[in-house]
Amino acid sequence: MAERNRSYRTQAVILRRRDYRDADRILTVFTPRLGKLQLIAKGIRKTTSRKAGHLELFTHTSLQVAQARTWDIITEAVTVESFRHLRQDLGRISRASYVCELVDRFTEEGDENQLLWDLLLLALRQLDQGESELFLRWFELRLLSLTGFQPQIFRCLGCGDELQPVTNFLNLQAGGVFCPRCGEGQPGMEPVEKDVLKVLRHLQRSPWRKVQALSLRPQTLQAVEGILHRYLLTILERHLQSVDFLKRVRRQRQTAATDRTNPS
Ligand SMILES: [Zn+2]
């Protein structure tokens, strides 16, 4: 029976890649209309490959792809945005890897998510320009919302009342915050200061341009980071069972902590 030789064109960001056979690579990419895909780039590790430079990690590229039985085959690749600054130092490489890995871990193959595509491109552009920690916190909350894991931080998860500007109680397993009446003294709760909750809410509901001018006390930013990372880990542990990734998130935290103590 003849193979149908159908092909399609798509934009893509390269999230992950691994070597395959002698000269090939399997790429995990994220696309605007087809969601996450695994594609094969044949012969890409040969020095003569003309596609190689267009299929680096984090690159925004335009692909021509031929359908095939196992992995669809990349037949043409042209760079749209190379984000070259992302590869200039370890801090940026680490942040770009973190963003790509979060998108990878929070998506299933073939689930279209145009808003997440927009978010990913925005993230790579901002990180390429040098945005760092506050941007990553905003990105984490936006990713959680777009993938169905938005924490409830406006109303009490117990009684439904609007949360007041006092010390409330966070329960990561429950996915949100409880008022003092419902949360105080209950198992799995931790106090969350009103300033920290205020920042989380601002990050969750505001576009990046309204957040970027925000100047925060280092302790507040650190508390926000701690909560978001532990919440991401709670979700990943429960839903995604990805121990390797958890280790890398922890390493990312350490890099972030080093960046804070050595501002460049
Ligand atoms: Zn309550």
Convert the pLDDT of each residue in 112-141 to its tens digit. 999 999 999 999 999 999 987 899 999 999
Last residue of a domain, one of 41, 65, 84: 84
* Within-domain flag for 206: yes
List phi, psi (to 5°) of 66. -105, 130
Q: What CA–CA distances, in Å, run from 213 to 9, 83, 135, 139, 200?
A: 38, 23, 11, 15, 15
Q: Who's near 184: CB < 8 A, 6+ residues apart?
A: 169
Last residue of a domain, one of 84, 99, 121: 84
* Within-domain flag for 80: yes
Report how far ligand 1's centroid is from the alpha carbon of 87 (Å). 47
Same domain flag for 167 and 252: yes
Token pair of 201 as six digits: 């809410």
Domain that holds residue 37: 7-84
Same domain flag for 168 and 73: no
Percent of the chain with pLDDT over 70: 88
> Measuring CA to CA, which residue among 164, 196, 194 is closest to residue 179?
164
Structural contact between residues 232 and 252, judged by C-beta atoms closer than 8 angstroms: no
CATH number at residue 41: 2.40.50.140
Report how far ligand 1's centroid is from the alpha carbon of 5 (Å). 59
Report how far ligand 1's centroid is from the alpha carbon of 163 (Å). 8
* Within-domain flag for 191: yes
Last residue of a domain, one of 84, 118, 137: 84
* Within-domain flag for 187: yes
Same domain flag for 162 and 255: yes
Report how far ligand 1's centroid is from the alpha carbon of 183 (Å). 7
Domain count, the chain: 2
* Within-domain flag for 199: yes
* Within-domain flag for 76: yes
Same domain flag for 256 and 156: yes
Report how far ligand 1's centroid is from the alpha carbon of 160 (Å). 6
Same domain flag for 160 and 247: yes
Report how far ligand 1's centroid is from the alpha carbon of 197 (Å). 15
Report how far ligand 1's centroid is from the alpha carbon of 204 (Å). 21
- Residue pLDDT, tens place only, 147-187: 999 999 999 999 999 999 999 999 999 999 999 999 999 99
Report how far ligand 1's centroid is from the alpha carbon of 147 (Å). 26
27 Cα distance to chain centroid:
17
* Within-domain flag for 228: yes
* Within-domain flag for 202: yes
pLDDT score, position 264: 43
The mean pLDDT of 184-207, rounded to a whole number, is 96
Report how far ligand 1's centroid is from the alpha carbon of 35 (Å). 38
pTM, two decimals, is: 0.88
Report how far ligand 1's centroid is from the alpha carbon of 124 (Å). 39
